[in-house]
Amino acid sequence: MRQIFLDTETTGFNANLAQNPDRMVEIGCVELVNRKLTGNNLHFYLNPERDSEEGALRVHGLTTEFLSDKPKFAAIAQELLDFVADAEIIIHNAPFDLSFLDAELARVGHQPFKTYVGSVTDTLVMAKEMFPGKRNSLDALCDRLEVDNSGRTLHGALLDAELLADVYINMTRGQDALLMDAGSPDEAGVVAVQIDLRGFILPVVAANAQELVAHDDVISQLDKSSGGKTLWRKLA
């Protein structure tokens, strides 16, 4: 299964094309196949053709000067779509990133982002279900799940996508099937074989006299406390 962890950085928080929209300044994509990082990642800095708002600049630190010679979104749009095609896309707070991706794609005549991918999973929604009432920012999840984010002084799309991959693996640990299909080798070359348990005769161990007395005592106490309404005595 191919999964892509995606993150963006932007000039601000408003992607509405009808207003004075903010733009993306960075896209980071990290590929996971069969729950293993492949190193086949995709990363772009983008010229947003406008300045970043002060608050956004404090978050990502990508200045107008630094971004001035970087490609515009139109130049990388097809490469991005080819990379994410048919994969499961995993994003933290997906509506935010999707709003910017859809706006940028609309500018260059493409369909919305979800049209090109297999599915979109929002890890913020997952985290709220797993840890209700707690902080579920990426930093908070890194701390809770013991993912090392010590190198994260500023937000960066590629770094955040890599951290999100680690967080997701920790959040979903234990959800893999215990047995694969019969005859299907795993990555180590081991074949899991399905066993028909109907051929086994399991021993029946009867209670001894002491255990029967103790059991009867418990039943009597339950019967007394319920006013003689216990069904097991009536059925017996």
Catalytic residue numbers read 155
Q: Give Rg (Cα) of the chain.
A: 28
Q: Are strands 2-10 and 88-91 parallel, antiparallel or unpaired?
A: parallel
- Intra-chain end-to-end CA distance of the chain, in Å: 55
Amino acid, res. 189: G
Residue 159's contacts (CB-CB under 8 Å, 6 or more residues apart) are 28, 151, 152
**CA angle (65, 83, 171) in 5-degree steps:** 95
Q: How is 39-77 classified by DSSP, letter by letter? A: S--EEEE---SSPPPHHHHHHH---HHHHTTSPPHHHHH
Structure tokens at 175: 């959800």
Phi and psi at 215, nearest 5°, equal: -65, -45
By the 8 A CB rule, do 144 and 158 touch? no
Strand partners, 42: 29
- 184: its two tokens: 């299907």
Closest by CA position to 1, among listed 144, 118, 109, 112: 118
